[in-house]
Chain A
Amino acid sequence: MVIEIKKIDRVYQTLLFLEKDKKEGVTAREIAGAMEANRANISRYLNQLYRNGKLKKIEGRPVLYKSLSVENKNPTSRSLDTIVGAKLSLSKPIQQAKAAIYYPPRGLHTLLLGGTGVGKTMFAELMHRFAIETENFDKKAPFVQFNCADYADNPQLLIGHIFGVKKGAYTGASRDRDGLLKKADRGILFLDEVHRLSPQGQEMLFTYIDKGYFRPLGETDKEITADVLIIAATTEKPESYLLSTFIRRIPMMITLPSLRERGLEERYLLIESFLKEESKRVGRSIYINKNSLISLLLYDCPNNIGQLNSDIQLACGRAFLTFKTENKEYMMITQSELPDHVKKGIMKIHQHRKDVEDILKEKGEILNFSYKDKNISDNSEATGSKFFYDIIEKKLNSLREVNIKEERINEILNIDIESYFKKHLDSLPAVMKKDEVRKIVDDKTASMVEKILKLASKRLNRDYDKKIYFGLALHLQKSIERIQNGEKIYHPELNHIRVTYPEEFMVAMEVAKFIDDKYRIEVPLDEIGYISMFLSSNPYRTRGKERQKTGILVIMHGSSTASSMVEVANELVGDEHAVALDMPLNIDPETIFKKALEEVIKIDQGRGVLLLVDMGSLSNFGDMISEKTGRKIETIEMVSTPVVIDACRKAMLGQDLYQIYRSCKDISINRKRPQKKKVRKKAIITTCFTGEGASVRLKEIIADRLQDSENIEIISLNILNHEHFLTTLKQYEENYKILAVVGTVDIELEEIPFISAVDVLSGDGIGQIEDIIKNEEIYLKIEDSLKEHIKSLNTVTLVDLIRKAIKRIEKKLTVKISEEVRIGIVLHISFLVEKLIKGDSGIVFSDLEKFQKEYKEEMADIKQSLLSLENKYKIVVGDDELAYLCQMFLENKERY
């Protein structure tokens, strides 16, 4: 597909080249000859170019083709001065561009800087046109365009493409071939994404820039001269290391402003010109209501003009569809024609009300844009859009012919438009999509979150902005994953939330039900607490006052790695919370350390700082800074963008350093080695309010009375602060298998048994502990022995998951089974899982139907409790199996 696109460009360039000498037009045969290609193929490309509005076709025998761009230009006005913003934000770039062209003898080589979609290609084209208009360049001066990313994985090919190839330079180079530099002689060579050029290619380019000649690939003695103005473009930031050599060698540097920097007034003008262009393509006026226009003015459009244009095209496509299918009199854009992310623009009206009113005053409720109005810019070449409208119309007619209902047609075509634009967006460079939340959150979650927010805003009569949408989507994706894996979700302030936000909590319950149905999971109460927080109007304030937040500092090797990660994270989270520190390779670690130290002091609000780093010496920074300053610091290594996003989000939610640390660690560890559990030492926790009184005494008693106590760590902790205790406990759980918590007050932990201090002092507490230890040892042995029989699975994980599932089943069915039976069931399920993975046929439960009828709910409960296993091992536990399990639990239950 990529090659196809390139080929069409080459056909076009060849035509431009041949056209110089053949003013009446060029035939397909001539182009095919010049390119040594099949004529039929060339005709196909020419037709496509014609349909795209790039060529003029002169019917006859043979058919002649002429480019439009040479003919169509308006000689009186100069292109550069007519583009939107020429007198505003673009005035300086335009001045620079003119200077570059005027500079004798043939202009200054230029480096164009700016983000994705700011219009670098168009700007380069305009410079070319300007050079011709001012007669600095010949009328037929070529404009050759090339994207260095196209062959970036094959540097030799790329160099050959630009500088040409000498016959025999490599296998397959059967003849001399000119490069683009030669083809661009006396004109402009536009090199997009120039930072993708290999070092060798850069060196060759610089030689040409300095000396005016170059050598094709494989050529040793002959130097070729060419008279070419190079315009190089890149999305890299000017301070980027990659660009430093370019900046030194290329004299003119022009930075194009982002859409945001261009301001609302200019954005309006851009919207106007895009709508008029669309109007020209459809050949009729386009109407738009005021609210939709406001949305277009205000929505977040990080990929600049390019994105603005494609979003407007999508809206026009939909409007055209409605217009055609419903036989409307006007082609009109309303909110329902806008893409969802554009619609959200209207929500920002309160921040910009005055500016918007200034722009739209006296414009009425419905605005009309037509290509017939003056002031239409014909700067941009017509793209594939005409073709696109044709497709809609053609499809519409053929669907009507086969008598498909109107609403169904609408649906089908809508999908077509979406997929067209999806393709369109896919073809854009990777940075384009970085902030599209759907890139990070899957479609299912994203659309569910939309529904959730719709429901919530109806129930609570409240609007939710993009920030909440992003936040909730990211959050739910993670939580659902956790629930499906059978991992615990824990909310430290559940009760507080429940009391503070009773309405939100009710709605969150409803939302949870919705998620339950959708994912066949059970959203725990703690998670409902989190959802309530998102639904309460200001989620980042849980206690009415602004809380201090944990600091996030990202330090990475490379000159822009950290800053670009932080940029993405901050944008998604909607706050400039995380701080980046880039570490270019040529700067020594000590300097960076000093900077890191300063940053930590600056951003620490008293809740500590989380350092997110990639590797090497950076990993030790945290400890060193902590030693020097006494501040709380944790470090996560091998950090990727999702980790940074997660950390920011959690910090904004007011979570403390250790909570964030743990959760980030989970993500980064999951990435590196999924599901590998280390052997954990066993531990018993003793508690009291101070952590120094009773708990220490209990520790001594247990150590004294317990046999085998040298293999068990006994840790005394205070429970003064419940939240803090739980976090500490979780930290210990990383390295220890916590057998029991012993203390005066039952903290009611679900997964860890509690033994009361009284029992330890005067009852059979020690006996209870010993039972637990024995039990754990049995399971250790079971895991070991299973390893021999079930070789394909990690039996430690398997047994762990099964034991948790059994606990859930006991809870749901309110039955209790003996340890003896429990072991039997663990074995039973282990072999069942193995059997199902192998795909062996199931067993049959006699009289299943009758049993199912009687124990419908119990079976459903068991099914749900086994979800973590089903998901983990990609198996489905059938009804017969469920019935057997159900019987095991119900028939074996112990009498209380």
Chain B
Amino acid sequence: MKTILLVCSAGMSTSLLEKKMCQAAEKKGLELTIRAVSELEARNYTGEIDVLLLGPQVKYLLNTMKELMTGRSVAVGVIDSINYGMMDGKAVLEQALKMSER
């Protein structure tokens, strides 16, 4: 089972996205763990992660996170801002899945 971590500064705006992504996953019949966390939680997250997605407003964390995740085979990226703006759970889920394939 894959784990997707959504990161924004306080986990506030991503928690709604988390919900919508879960709904989209359910529809597709996928079993996934999707969690919205704050920057701090992400830094200290010890569990398995497959995809780590940043909210566009914390894009600046991209390099830091990539460094942190080196050697852990985690795909790190920024959520597409338009999908994020529309809280499009389905589209962001697709983005995450695509990233994990690579």
Contact = CB atoms under 8 A, between A and B. Distances in A.
Interface of A: 778-779, 781-782, 784-786, 789, 818-821, 823-828, 830-832, 835, 843, 846, 884, 887-888, 891-892
Contact of B81 (A820, A830, A832, A884): A820
Nearest to B78: A820
B40 interface: yes
Nearest to B82: A778
Contacts of A785: 85-88
Contacts of A888: 9, 57-58, 60
B98 interface: no
Contact of B84 (A827, A843, A884): A827
Contacts of A823: 56, 81-82, 84-85
A789 B87 CA distance: 9
A597 to B, nearest CB: 55
Contacts of B55: 824, 827-828
B85 A778 contact: yes
A819 B81 contact: yes
Nearest to B8: A828
A891 B84 contact: no
A820 to B, nearest CB: 4
Please give me the 3 A-B residue pairs with the lowest Cβ-Cβ distance, nearest first. Answer: A824-B56, A824-B57, A891-B60
B68 interface: no
Interface of B: 8-10, 12-13, 16, 38, 40, 55-61, 78, 81-82, 84-88
Given A884-B10, A888-B9, A821 B86 contact: no
A828 B85 contact: no
Contact of A825 (B38, B40, B57): B57
Contacts of B61: 891
A40 to B, nearest CB: 65
Contacts of B82: 778, 781, 823
Nearest to B40: A846
Given A888-B57, A888-B58, A892-B57, A824 B12 contact: no
A891 B61 CA distance: 9
Contacts of A789: 16, 87
Given A785-B85, A846-B40, A821 B9 contact: no
Residue of B12, B16, B84, B87 ringed by the most chain A CB atoms within 10 A: B12
Contacts, number: 78
Residue of B12, B55, B85, B88 ringed by the most chain A CB atoms within 10 A: B85
Contact of B86 (A781, A820, A828, A835): A781
Contact of B59 (A832, A835, A846, A892): A892
Contacts of B13: 827-828, 830-831
Residue of A779, A782, A830, A835 ringed by the most chain B CB atoms within 10 A: A782
Nearest to B38: A843
Contacts of B56: 820-821, 823-825
A710 B57 CA distance: 34
B53 to A, nearest CB: 12
A146 to B, nearest CB: 65
Contacts of A825: 56-57
Contacts of B58: 824, 888
Contacts of A892: 57, 59-60
B52 to A, nearest CB: 16
A778 B57 CA distance: 16
A824 B84 contact: yes
Given A824-B58, A828-B57, A782 B12 contact: no
A722 to B, nearest CB: 37
Contacts of B86: 781-782, 784-785
A785 B82 CA distance: 11
B12 A831 contact: yes
22 contacts: A778-B85, A789-B87, A818-B59, A821-B81, A823-B84, A824-B56, A824-B57, A824-B84, A825-B56, A825-B57, A828-B8, A828-B9, A828-B13, A835-B12, A843-B9, A843-B10, A884-B10, A887-B9, A887-B60, A888-B57, A891-B61, A892-B59
A821 B85 contact: no
Contacts of A824: 8, 55-59, 81, 84
A147 B58 CA distance: 70
B67 to A, nearest CB: 15
B59 A821 contact: yes
B57 A821 contact: yes
Contacts of B38: 843
A845 to B, nearest CB: 9
Contacts of B59: 818, 820-821, 824, 892
Nearest to A789: B16
A843 B81 contact: no
Contacts of B87: 785-786, 789, 827
Nearest to A832: B12
A780 to B, nearest CB: 10
A786 B57 CA distance: 17
A294 to B, nearest CB: 66
Given A820-B59, A821-B59, A892-B60, A828 B12 contact: yes
B24 to A, nearest CB: 14
Given A827-B87, A843-B12, A888-B9, 9 more contacts: A781-B86, A784-B86, A820-B81, A823-B81, A823-B84, A823-B85, A843-B9, A891-B60, A892-B60
Nearest to B60: A891
Contacts of B60: 887-888, 891-892
A150 B28 CA distance: 74
A492 B57 CA distance: 38
A884 B9 contact: yes
B68 to A, nearest CB: 16
A819 B78 CA distance: 13
Contacts of A832: 12
A782 B59 CA distance: 19
Contacts of B9: 828, 843, 884, 887-888
Nearest to A784: B86
A526 B10 CA distance: 39
Contacts of A826: 85
Contacts of A835: 12
A177 B86 CA distance: 74
Nearest to B86: A785
A378 to B, nearest CB: 76
Contacts of A828: 8-9, 12-13, 55, 57
A819 B59 CA distance: 12
Nearest to A786: B87
A827 B8 CA distance: 11
A351 B56 CA distance: 69
A139 to B, nearest CB: 85
Nearest to B12: A831
Nearest to A846: B40
Contacts of B40: 846
Nearest to A820: B81
A789 B55 CA distance: 18
A781 B86 CA distance: 7
A827 B87 CA distance: 9
Contacts of A887: 9, 60
A843 B14 CA distance: 14
A892 B85 CA distance: 17
B57 to A, nearest CB: 3
Contacts of A830: 13
